[in-house]
Structure 1
Amino acid sequence: MEFETVIGLEVHAQLKTRSKIFCGCSTEFGRPPNSNTCPVCLGLPGVLPVLNRRVVEFAIKLALATDCRINHKNIFARKNYFYPDLPKGYQISQFDLPIAEHGRIEIEVEDWRRTIGITRIHMEEDAGKLIHDEREPLSYVDLNRTGVPLLEIVSEPDLRSPAEAAAYLRKLHAIVRYLDICDGNMQEGSFRCDANISLRPKGQAEFGTRTELKNMNSFRNVQKALEYEERRQRDLLLDGEEVIQATLLWDADQGVSLPMRSKEEAHDYRYFPDPDLVPVMVDEAWISQVRAGLPELPLARKNRFISELGLPPDDAEVLTSSRELADYFEQALAAYPAAKKLGNWIMTELLRALKGEEGIDIGACPVTPTGLARLLTMVDEGLISGKIAKTVFEEMMLSGADPDTVVKEKNLVQVSDEGELVAIVRAIIAAHPDQAEQFRAGKTKVLGFFVGQLMKETKGKANPQMANELFSQELQG
């Protein structure tokens, strides 16, 4: 029997506001426990929430960027449940009238493009955090995160594979960062995802029994967790067993999903409109104002890089994967207009170096866009070879110095003096008569051996083009 996988994602994006959604407390991450709190976010008697206007503005931005319909009237509701990190005993969220609905995101997986529907985007406050003592059966509550503004983005169950789920998540992550409404830090929990997955026989319209996966803090973990759960459910169904609806935690160390709690068919959160908050009215003038300030989004930027710069689609996809990387590329491009060569350097040397430096962010890269442009210009001008350029680049990453300074201090200027090189070329030919005879017998590939010897002798500083020409002349003469 063949099965079809059905996946839907619920993503929570923490917004980059300075204060919380309903009070003036700071949203700064890493403060001492329970220091970013006040009577409002603690839900003490007699307090009233006041909505942060910037939260609504950020929600409108994301709605526009994902082709959602924006509801001109939307209402905050109380979602009632009891948990130690929820001081009020309810969470202020949105239910039947969210800020936005019925949007879409386009994804590409292995040259296959699909449109994934977005059911809704709604505004809500975050809960606190429980810290469990590993030595004793105790848990501590940190309420700093309570009241931090979130956007929850709920996809339609349109995803058909773990790879598609990871692609959708990356695309959404890029969008919120391009919009500058969320820092996207998955390790700190400011961009987190719950995944619902079920299997059904191919051709069946009815969904299978789903499980929900939590505790996934990277794109890779999301894909691996879904792949594991896909296999687990398929094995159960092939053995004639039932899939039990449950909430599962992903254990990345063991590579398995573990039961968190069983789950009934439906929740009863007893939603009702929050009596302390009036409906939020969003008019066309506000929407137009926000639309006018939208940046160029990843898909539009990618298409521009392809059409205007002639970049291959795969290159354009990588270079627009984050706003910071695309900005870096365009700043360097202004000083070095060879887009393909520049893109190759960024995608290979630069990204490899950033990954090797304990995941350093490109915003903190020691090599500036103009510095990289100057380095490539020096190669084109024949001042240094391509091999030496990589050595110079490594030094620039370590010291932050400009390429001219590195080349001068390390004495790395390319040797292009014909008289100086001819003497070395003749000495190398004399030292390797067998290889010289092979060349004269028609084995021209041996020319690479001679050039390699020259590079070794000059410590990589010889002009490669001149080296090839000189060896050809001397060996034929």
Structure 2
Amino acid sequence: MMDELMDFAEVLERFDPVLGLEVHVELNTASKMFCGCATAFGAAPNTQTCPVCLGLPGTLPVLNGKAVESAIRIGLALNCEIASWCRFARKNYFYPDMTKDFQTSQYDEPIAYEGHVSVETGGVVYEVPIERAHMEEDAGKLVHVGGATGRIEGAEYSLLDYNRAGVPLIEIVTKPVFGTGDRAPEVAREYVADLRDMVRALGVSDVRMEQGSLRCDANVSLMPKGSDTLGTRTETKNLNSLRSIERALRYEIRRQGAVLAAGGRVTQETRHWNEAGGYTTSGRSKEQAEDYRYFPEPDLVPVAPSREWVAELRATLPEPPAERRRRLTTEWGFTEAEMRDVQGAGALDLVLATVVAGAPPAAARKWWVAELARRANETGTDLDGLPITPAQVAAVQALVDAGTVNDKLARQVIDGVLAGEGDPAAVVAARGLAVVSDDGALGVAVDAAIEANPDVADKIRAGKVQAAGALIGAVMRTMGGKADAAKVRELILTRLS
């Protein structure tokens, strides 16, 4: 049965949304958090495991030093305090993907805490307070079989793959985020987008959301207007695209609004997002911290990074995302509105990589923000999930600049690349998309257009050169859009001069 939903605008008239976001970042270390097993994505199920990450009796963990370094750098980039002494804890719960029935994590002593970042959307800057960024190991993966989407909804059964168990993970937890109003879903989306940009720039994760190396658990509650008492929150788990984050939060705000307006109570629980249907479903009641029975991990010594080491790592931080956007806006000659469009489409890194590959900034923006963003929206995927690379987009523009194809044909080239037909040059050759500039072939088409449109030809002979556009259009139609428009114009004016 579908949930009752309240109109989004009506919810915002009566309630203030309060966000809480938990983002899990898988680190790109070569080995796992507490053992030497590989972390490569896509290996055959259960082939990257050992007694330690499977939690077999008698095994002892050894901490990955590179993971600690990455955690400190993430904490610094979030403007956090870095603990001079912290330790791991056991988070106890029974779940199929936890081989040990506990997760080695951090509880009351995280490595980074009390930070903040700024997020801009709609021309407004919102402050997002960071409570903590702590180290932990990832769990295994449930593979849901039998459903149409690969998600738990509709699945007939689930299989377990423990390759991911023990992969180094940083969990970044915000404090409650107030004051976002009707932009709450957008603020959440932009926060995760900025976080993804920041972590990618740090070089500590590939942040591939479609592969689960960056995942978001989105909490939201509704607070009655004029109240300072938080409502009951729900947590929508494992959102793995920016689009899903925004849509799931918008749905939950509308669902909770309907529950409260009808006099009901929101249940504190985890919920699952159904991407195809665009709705959330109930998961399990949400535990409090005491339900996990945390206690210090007896098999690991505390972590005590020296202040000198922290200072050295601070010096390695890249340019913050907001500062980089301002710099690129100036360098590329974009207006603020154009850069907002790029950021809103989640295309900044893609445009930058396309420019680095040789395309002019304006052309890179055009292809990603207009043409490719439309295709991503049609297929319900994030922009960086499309099967085309920045280098390929730059190659398409190079073909346009060289006169090999025009803009219309370039769109067909992109069709071919997205369809898996190869790089742009191979698509042009296979599909026969190159612009025709041969005087002989074009001359025949031009003569036919002049003969078929004598009145237009007379206008051109009388000096109305702008009328040539009609004949150029006729030639282009005859040649399936493959004629060199500049050459056609030259031939028309030569014949009718």
Contact 2:218 2:237 in 1 (8 A): yes
In structure 2, the residue matched to 1:448 is 469
Task: Tell which deviates more after alignment, 181-190 or 273-282.
Answer: 181-190
Of residues 152, 159, 166 in structure 2, which corresponds to 1:147?
Answer: 166
Is 1:122 aligned with 2:143?
no
Q: Displacement, 1:146?
A: 2.2
Among 212, 219, 231, the residue aligned to 1:189: 212
Return closer, same or farther for 1:72/1:372 CA change in 2, 3 Å cut-off. Answer: farther
Tell me how far apart the structure 2 counterparts of residues 390 and 201 of structure 1 sit (CA, whole Å).
Answer: 49
* Alpha-carbon distance in 2 for matches of 1:37, 1:425: 69
Cα distance, 1:21 vs. partner?
0.5
Structure 1 residue 243, shift from structure 2 partner: 2.0
Distance across 1 between alignment mates of 2:425 and 2:109: 55
TM-score under structure 2 normalisation? 0.78
1:208 aligns with 2:231: yes
More moved, 66-75 vs 177-186: 177-186
**Residue 363 of structure 2: aligned partner:** 341
Question: Residue type of the partner of 1:98?
Answer: P
Does residue 123 of structure 2 align to residue 111 of structure 1? yes
Change (3 A) 1:428 1:235: same
Conservation of the 8 A alpha-carbon contact between 1:246 and 1:260: yes
SS in 2 for 1:170: helix
1:16 paired residue number:
28
Is 1:240 the equivalent of 2:252? no
Residue 299 of structure 1 aligns with an amino acid whose one-letter code is: A
1:352 deviates by 6.8
Is the deviation greater in 286-295 or in 421-430?
Answer: 421-430
Structure 1 residues 327 and 307 mapped into 2: Cα distance closer, same or farther (>3 Å)? closer
In structure 2, stretches of 5+ residues that fail to align are: 1-12, 147-153
1:216 partner letter: L
Structure 2 residue 16 is the aligned partner of structure 1 residue 4: yes
Write the mapping of 1:160-179 to structure 2, written as runs, cut at 5 A.
160=180, 161-179=184-202
Determine if contact 2:15/2:222 at 8 Å carries over to the other structure: yes
Q: Aligned ranges for residues 461-476 of structure 1 at < 5 Å?
A: 463-465=484-486, 467=488
Moved more, 97-106 or 139-148: 139-148
Q: CA deviation at 1:200?
A: 1.2
Q: CA deviation at 1:308?
A: 1.9
Structure 1 residue 6 displacement after superposition: 0.9
- For 1:156, the aligned partner's letter is K
User: Aligned-pair RMSD on alpha carbons?
Assistant: 4.1
How far apart, in 1, do the equivalents of 2:456 and 2:22 lie? 66
Structure 1 length as normaliser, TM-score?
Answer: 0.81
Name whichever of 427-436 and 43-52 sits farther off: 427-436
> Does residue 331 of the first structure (1) align with residue 356 of the second (2)?
yes
SS in structure 2 opposite 1:280?
coil
- Give, as a single letter, the amino acid of the residue that structure 1 aligns with 2:306: D
- Counting aligned pairs with the same residue, the percent is 42
Shift of 1:230: 0.9
Q: 1:423 to 1:265 in 2, by over 3 A?
A: closer
Aligned twin of 1:89: 101
CA distance in 1, matches of 2:389, 2:30: 26
- Counterpart for residue 52 of structure 2: 40
Per-residue deviation, 1:349: 5.3
2:249 pairs with 1:217: no
Aligned residue for 2:310?
Answer: 287
1:50 Cα deviation (Å)? Answer: 1.0
**For the structure 1 residues 50 and 108, does the alpha-carbon distance in structure 2 shift closer, same or farther, using more than 3 Å as the test?**
same
Contact 1:3 1:199 in 2 (8 A): yes
The match for 1:378 among 390, 402, 407 is 402
Shift of 1:432: 1.9
Give the superposition deviation at 1:13.
1.3
Contact 2:351 2:390 in 1 (8 A): no
Structure showing greater radius of gyration is: 1
Amino acid aligned to 2:206: D
1:26 matched to which residue of 2? 38
Q: Secondary structure at the match of 1:13?
A: strand
CA contact (8 A) 1:319 1:329 kept: no
CA contact (8 A) 2:88 2:107 kept: yes
1:188 Cα deviation after fit: 3.4
1:88 aligned counterpart, secondary structure:
coil
* In structure 1, C-alpha distance between the alignment counterparts of 2:160 and 2:394, rounded to whole Å: 48
Q: Tell me, yes or no, if the aligned pair for 2:434 and 2:482 is still in contact at 8 Å.
A: no
**Cα offset, 1:145, TM superposition:** 2.5
Change (3 A) 1:156 1:331: same
Deviations 1:396-443 (A, max 9, x none): 88443659x959x8763535x6x9978865663443234457889999
Residue 444 (structure 2) pairs with residue 428 (structure 1): no
- Given that 2:84 and 2:305 are in contact with CA atoms closer than 8 Å, whether structure 1 keeps it comes out as yes
Q: CA deviation at 1:385?
A: 4.9
For 2:188, what is the secondary structure of its paired residue? Answer: helix
Counterpart of 2:251 (choices 199, 205, 228) is 228
Taking the aligned partners of 2:449 and 2:160, their CA distance within structure 1 comes to 74
User: Which of 63, 70, 88 is the matching residue for 1:76?
Assistant: 88
Q: Check whether the contact 1:40–1:47 (CA below 8 A) recurs between aligned residues.
A: yes
Three-state SS of the structure 1 residue aligned to 2:357 is: helix
What is the CA–CA distance in structure 1 between the aligned matches of 2:215 and 2:96, rounded to whole Å?
21
Matched, 1:50 2:62: yes
Taking structure 1 as reference, are residues 390 and 413 closer, same or farther at Cα in structure 2, changes over 3 Å only? farther
Question: Is residue 194–residue 212 contact of structure 1 (8 Å, CA) maintained in 2?
Answer: yes
Displacement after TM superposition at 1:391 (Å): 5.9
Distance 1:453 1:49, change over 3 A: same
SS of residue paired to 1:281: coil
**Residues of 1 paired with 2:442 and 2:101: CA distance?**
81
1:460 Cα deviation after fit: 4.6
Which residue matches 2:175?
156
Q: 1:234 Cα deviation (Å)?
A: 1.1
Supply the AA of the counterpart residue of 1:195.
A
Q: For the residues of structure 2 that align with 1:254 and 1:388, how far apart are their CA atoms?
A: 35
Deviation at 1:59, TM superposition (A): 1.0
Give the 3 Å change call, closer, same or farther, for CA 424–221 of structure 1 in structure 2: closer
SS in 1 for 2:114: strand
Q: Quickly say closer, same or farther: Cα 1:192–1:391, change in 2 above 3 A.
A: closer
Change (3 A) 1:289 1:361: farther
